[in-house]
Amino acid sequence: MRDRWAQWLLDRRFGGDPVSRERMLPGLMEYRDRVLAGAAIRAGDVVLDVGCGDGLLAVGALETDAAKVIFSDVSEDLLRRCRDTIDDPRAEFVHTGLPELEAIAPESVDVAMTRSVLIYVADKASSFVSLRRVLRPGGRLSIFEPINRFCDPGRPQQLWGYDITGLEELGAKANAAADRHTAAVNGPMVDFDERDLLALAQGAGFSEVKLDYSAEIALRRHEIRWEEWLRHAPNPLVPTLGEILAEALTPAEREALAEHIEARRAAPDGMAVSRSAVAYLTARA
């Protein structure tokens, strides 16, 4: 069995569907490219990818003239996957993570970068201190984080962005079940916004701190089938949407909700409301 981080990143994030994974790739590559651009990797740099996952950032760093790229993660399963698939003598694999980064020596790297990692860490202040500790003087920090505090306004007539007018009771049951699972883990995911990232970086002693923030409320048509959508898990710490519905609703209620949402999805105006916000931060040690 893979650990929960590997299960989500390699399977549950896209419902186990390779086609859905391919649809996600353009967005993931945009995140990667912007973090790498912010890192400004130079020839001879030692680069640390904190929370490397399946290696998206670190593999990109190997495409530069970096002298060494350290893949670090709290998941031994993900590190093993990276080690098994990457054949480059400059790659190093270290089992460590935030907030301590205890396996990384002080002032030992020129670049530290992360993508969607701080969102899972409760002690963000110590995390920034550790990131500064491992950087050499003048070293660069480049991170990307989703700002989940922006994302869920909690409208009773919507479920996962779809209009469920007339079935608000079923939506309330589904949301209550989701809340039971997220109550214990949601704190770090929503306890910060872009202003906090700026303050945390400054408080840890970083200089030249810059942050780009963007937020969007849009209507989107999901190409993914309902059955595949239900196999999707929003993050590594919670069940899939289908598991949440199975816990909250009777079979008849699930069928009624599915029919309603499928009808909405098939309608000419069958869009889901999507709310998202992201932040890119760069700084110098």
What pLDDT, in 10s, does the model give residues 14-73?
A: 888 888 888 888 999 999 999 999 999 999 999 999 999 999 999 999 999 999 999 999
Paired sense of beta strands 46-50 and 68-73, if any: parallel
Cα angle at 250 between 247 and 255, to 5 degrees? 110
Pick 184 or 113 by higher pLDDT: 113
Question: Residue 56: which of 10, 121, 99, 104 has the closest Cα?
Answer: 10
pLDDT of amino acid 15: 84
pLDDT (mean) for 234-243: 89
Q: What is the mean pLDDT of residues 227-253?
A: 90
| Residue of higher predicted confidence among 242 and 186 | 242
The one-letter amino acid at 283: A
At position 167, the amino acid (one-letter code) is L
- Mean of all residue pLDDT scores within the chain: 92
Q: Provide mean pLDDT across the span 160-178.
A: 89
For residues 176-197, average pLDDT: 84
Please name each of the domains of the chain with its CATH number.
Answer: 4-284 (3.40.50.150)
Please report the pLDDT score of residue 3 as a whole number. Answer: 93
Taking residues 168-174, what's their average pLDDT?
Answer: 91
Which amino acid does the sequence have at 44?
G
The tens digit of pLDDT for each residue in 192-222 reads 999 999 999 999 999 999 999 999 998 887 7
Nearest to 144 by CA among 51, 5, 76: 51
pLDDT for residue 269:
77
* DSSP string across 13-75: GGTT-HHHHHHHHHHHHHHHHHHHHHHT--TT-EEEEET-TTTHHHHHHHTTT-SEEEEEES-
Q: Which pLDDT value is given to residue 153?
A: 60
CB contact set of 218 (below 8 Å; sequence gap of 6+): 273, 274
Pairing of strands 135-146, 272-284: antiparallel
Predicted TM-score (pTM) of the model is: 0.91
Quick one: pLDDT band at residue 178, thresholds 50, 70, 90? confident
pLDDT at residue number 242: 93
Q: Which residue has the tokens 């079979």?
A: 251
Beta bridge partners, 163, equal 158
Question: Does residue 124 register a pLDDT over 90?
Answer: yes
> Which token pair is 190?
């929503």
| Average pLDDT of the segment spanning 115-142 | 97
Model pLDDT, residue 92:
98
Q: What is the dihedral of CA 209, 5, 45, 37, to 10 degrees?
A: -50
Structure tokens at 46: 């030692």
What is the predicted pLDDT for the residue at 20?
82
pLDDT at 79 over 80: yes
Distances (CA, A) of 184 to 2, 150, 171, 204, 280: 22, 19, 21, 27, 27
pLDDT grade, residue 273 (50/70/90)? confident
Residue 19's pLDDT is: 82
Beta strands in the chain (DSSP E): 46-50, 68-73, 91-95, 109-115, 135-146, 158-159, 162-163, 207-220, 272-284
Percent of the chain with pLDDT over 70: 97
Determine the 3-state secondary structure of 257 from DSSP: helix
Amino acid 121 reads: V
**Based on C-alpha coordinates, what's the Rg of the chain?**
20
